[in-house]
Structure 1
């Protein structure tokens, strides 16, 4: 340092002498000045040796870029040990990540932020890395990267809604508006997992991952280490944004391409793609599978057949319920194709190329995959077979799929599950039914309608058609119900009771419509009304009715079980009298007389007859068109208590011991038994019309009843109340449920039951529903033209 100062002093002295000399000679002044400047520059340069050395050792600060900030510290996994010295695992890589924050300036060299790194851009702190940042061109021979975040570009300082509409920036950060850039940075900082984020933001992020895998991995060892994290990130994006077709296709195609390349090179096993390919497209992974099946002949596996079938037909049900469709397809594939579709020669060569999502990536970065696959004609024959299997699977789940798409109920709700074949129904429902089957196998089970629906995971009440499907499902588990759910006309409400009992082999729904059984049901219902009129003598009368049913020989075992279940239900809650009036009215006179005898015999069973029982019989006898004197004489008959009215084909019972035989009485009873047996076959059928010349002798009461019935017949065979509601509903095409409830309440009807009764009437008359929907309630305008005015 001292030597340098002495040298400077000598130089300055020489320069001073030179100037004095030049002033004397004049024209050489400019030459001396130039030499002085060169000397000063040389000395200054000699004074900065350390600064030059530092600049050479730190190439990250580019020449001519004095404003470049300090770069983010790279994660230590970017300098991994040699694989031969120390094996690198995903867990080991994750443990050496050392994130560091570095606010971005106006200029930053373009680079990749590895997993675990953090950067702050425009006041937004972004953790996790796996993005490109900087405003200087990237290396690797690909300068233009649309996902690179340029910190020099404007970013909005205002609050930005992440779900705001994106105007369409062509998948390029540089083409985004300041507001859109702010939204993108916020999405990155928020964990990149908002399922409602615009697809453009997710695709822009995906392009950076795509470049890292396809371009940087060619020459960068750090990129190969990052690939583990990027593949896991692609899987996460599929889970979060799989519902979006564009994102699912972009991510799925890249994963499929990389998986196939790895498999061909002897790496990881081939996995089934998780995304839905375009119609008619032969996916790369499927091509690789077909190549393997040609090399090692065996049938096409069911899972790959399902994937190919969906690619061919693109059924909507497969998109709505992929797991359920796969189950249906697998079963139908086994049934229709046996071991599977054979993949045979001849074959053809096909070049598969991956089409990048990023416009900046050319095909030169995606090596083509050459495969040997079946010729197009052979593929067409296989596709025809697959299409048939797809159609069969669609029939299994189509109604279910459309119902779930239209209604807000859960896919596991009973209403939806009833539309599926039993073998496709939800395991939770099948488990509940098996538990119920085990309980009912031990004997009868009385249960409320609400409790039954709760056990079977229903989301609400069931309409008539759904109750019929439930009856069929319960029958498959050997469970029968009383009342029969498929034949019950009235809508069930929560407190209503049902009796579940073991189903017999001959238990068919149509059996309960037989004439003899219908008469017995009416008689038992009326008898239970009489039974509930006197609490003291119920036990003996219950035993009488059970014995009565047990001794019937004109019914099948299944019908006998149904009658006992009906009695069990009626013993708990007496039947309503009003509906029975309508059922008794069309009976013939002799049928009414036989029913009245059953009531009298049941009342006579036990120790005595209370006044309440007599009053109830006095109320029922006129309804049966019977004289009260017959009631009184029957109650006082000494043999009445032991007499049980015979059914068709039954022999008259022998009187109990202790009574003397009256041969005339026995003969009369036999004649009555024969007449009852003949009349039971005509229940619910009007009696034969009288000859024309006997019209004057028609009973006046029958004429009055007919006239009264015609006066009360309303629109489309409905009663006045339901007719009034129908006329109100057809005045406009649509009603809200609240409006419908008000209309029904004004008339004194329950809305759901009334609508169901109206629709039943329409089905009987026109084979078409008039009312559809729950809220709003829609009126079928096409059917209105057929309704009577």
Structure 2
């Protein structure tokens, strides 16, 4: 049976005065801080006062008054759990001669006034040595049910000195020990913000649990929670004893004990997910532990034995605890303090658990009340879904399956609204990334993924939802081949869209390109197909591509040239718009545009309409022959140049015609000045730029409005202006971000140029 050792089983009356004096740390604290650092504590919730019992005078009392008895001293009636009477002498050395905890009824008590701040209290107060006004304050605190946390904590310590003496020196019955432990726990919670209270009362509770642990099963949840609640800078002694006892009894540790050991260990490395998502972290830790150690974790027996000496907070006594374990309680308890291997194993499990909870934790950091929402639940590791179920998540799965079956094109706003429970005014990268991650954890993908796409979908644009056939925890982990293929796909669809229509042959060629991509996983191939579907629905434009093209190194130029040329050949007819589009790409890559014709010359494409065979007389209609396959040969570069020249000539003629109509409605001098300052732009685009540079940002609606005033379509105007800005300043004038941000460097240069023209 564990308990006090023979040499300290009652009371070690300390013969050595040094042991009865404050510790060196406490002496230094007094010198540094003067007043007891225990003196600053905010108020705590009160607990109900026990029902009144018959009180008795303290005149004839001597010794301990149990809980349940009420006494009256100096007109104050209060509950027991105190020593009353003439205080016994503790030693003959003059320091703390009289027992501090005894309430001596013969001493004077101030009839008025109080000292709630404890100005008259010493570091180790004793009822017999504090001033009468402090005795009055102390008795008032007792009469109030010991519930006031706004008084100096020294009054609480004066009461606590009696509790620790009664428990460790008098060795009361087990029932009374439980009452004392419960009261100390209440006081510890009452003064929760005071460091000294937490330290001294925590140390007492540690030894009190060990003394009582002989009859307490180690799997008692209350024991484990109490250990966790009282952790500090070192392993709680009660935890050391429990762990050592399990080793001594040849018991394997389960996940809960290893988790508790790690949580209390001074060298633990815990990040935010372990604290913010405590329950989820503990559950995931257990799942991983059980998978690794289905029979529990066996730990070697340390040579060092556990020993404990308790020095009373009152400094009046010390005692040692005899620690044994085993069936007959005759086996020494080993000391686990220096064991490293179990903690290293626990830390590895913890690191993996925290990594998997990281996104869930970040979501809760942004949405403190978001636990249980669809997005939060979807970000929770799939292994925990059974332990933390969500009906909303099941509804989301059902809805997503229906959308995929219907083709997979879903408004981006609807996806985000379902995730967040409300419709945002605009879509940001964080929202879209969260939606993609949430869907991936229920086995579905979303294209585009804002981490890799050239831009995310606008609020009025769709996204593509598709079946991943598996849950994915980390969508951000992709191969370099996937990134390259995704960019090539964007370029290829840009070319395919150049003539404003995409025929089936081009779609088939783009799908074949995805299938032919090497160095990617099956999952990445699915994601490429979904992104292709989105690119076909939401065409890329040059403003997306230009910055990325400038970053491409020469080594990859050939692959990009092959991709765009192959797309141009896909439908067997090369349009002039496709040629112009490829020229833009080559220029952005820093490649001579003249190479376009040489590259296109790699395959012969018939120039002219496809001949349709005439139907026979008896046929009810005409049958369209299959599309001809591209033949290897030569491409008539002169014909392509002629088409290109004709296109430019017609565009210039039409531009002059429209310009003539507009000149009548414009201020001729101002228009001339603009066209001079903004050489390379027609008057419509020049007038638009003149408006744009007056502000730093335009919403999409505002940009569409001022473009419309000039008779321009917003998308075409954006591309034309940015093309011109790149030619002139090697930078886009407009950057798409929450509308359109205007480059201030370009704006200042243009305003300066236009002001010269006005002069």
What TM-score, normalized to structure 1?
0.48
Higher relative contact order (CA 8 A, sep 6+): 2
TM-score by length of 2: 0.50
Structure with greater Cα Rg: 1
